[in-house]
Structure 1
Amino acid sequence: MSEHPDCALIRRGYEAFGKGDMDTLGTLMTADVIHHMPGSSPLAGHHKGREAVLDLYRRLGEETNGTFRVRLERVLVDGRGHAMAFHMAQGDRGDRGIEIHEGLFFTIVGGKITDIDQCTQDIDESDAFWS
């Protein structure tokens, strides 16, 4: 059985993110993509537009001195332009570390990511780490 195109798109995105390949990652998104990051940390909020989303991803690396990693565990699709990805996020920031399960809910239109809603296993822990 072949992989659904939406599933393959999300896997390509995770692969590019893992390599720090923002050019490739940017090609997978629409110009008006939005990433909704939960919580109340300085990184939380609605990051609107491809450059703002890519800047968020760059900042994840900068804030953790390059230690931030995600390990993709599962991708689910509905065949109607939605995908859910589950991963383990890990990183170190100052004297604090984090290892936390997170999920991303993607909306996909025309083979490109248009919207990303992020959820986390423990929002208080995530806020404490990024604040």
Structure 2
Amino acid sequence: MSPDTHPNAVLTRRLYELAGAGDLPGYLALLADDVVFHIGGDCVVTGEHRGKDAIVRLGALVNEETAGTFRTGLLSVQANDSHAVTLHRWTAERRGERVEMDNFIVYRFERELVAERWEYVSDQHAHDTFWRR
């Protein structure tokens, strides 16, 4: 099975589709109840966001801070039985600034659900400056 057609690659693509469509219930259905999103750096989105309620709060924060301008475009995904790695480009506007940046994300799966997610940005300083407190 090819890493870009693996079932976890299909599931990961579905996450991006649901997020892009604004389908929060569909997106949350693909996350484990105790899911953890890890975001490094020193800014308003930094931290370990634990559980679906925390993920909803994170999404609301991003939407509020960017006045709904945050967009993510999936560029590629590779997966195996336990993990997927994506490369995506995101854009947003905040406080009169616009950013466009590539990130990669590592997803870990348990029982066909996202259990954990680590976000890595191409320019941590620019990321932190954009999302500054």
How far apart are residue 32 of structure 1 and its match?
0.2
* Corresponding position of 2:85: 84
Which residue of structure 2 aligns with residue 51 of structure 1?
53
Structure 1 CA distance for aligned equivalents of residues 57 and 10 of structure 2: 24
Q: Which runs of 4 or more aligned residues in structure 1 lie more than 3 Å from their structure 2 counterparts after TM superposition?
A: none
User: One-letter code of the match for 1:16?
Assistant: L
Query: Secondary structure at the residue paired with 1:40?
Result: coil
Mapped contact 2:39–2:45 kept (Cα < 8 A): yes
- Deviation of 1:51 after TM superposition, in Å, equals 1.3
Q: TM-score, normalised by structure 2?
A: 0.93
1:19-59 Cα shifts (integer Å, max 9, x gaps): 12111110000000000011100210100011101221222
- C-alpha displacement of 1:80: 2.6
Q: Tell me, yes or no, if structure 1 residue 104 matches structure 2 residue 105.
A: yes
For 2:57 and 2:86, the matched residues in 1 are separated by 21
Give me the whole-angstrom Cα distance separating, in 2, the residues matched to 1:55 and 1:22.
Answer: 12
The 2-side partners of 1:20 and 1:37 are apart by 21
Residue 75, structure 1, aligned to residue 66, structure 2: no
Q: 2:22 aligns with which of 20, 23, 26?
A: 20
* Alignment match, 2:123: 122
Gaps of 5+ in 2: none
Could you tell me the TM-score, scaled by structure 1's length?
A: 0.95
* Alignment RMSD: 1.3
Q: Does the CA-based 8 Å contact 2:76-2:86 persist in structure 1?
A: yes
CA distance in 2, matches of 1:17, 1:62: 16
Q: Secondary structure at the match of 2:42?
A: coil
Runs of 5+ in structure 1 lacking a partner?
Answer: none
Pair 1:29 & 2:15 matched: no
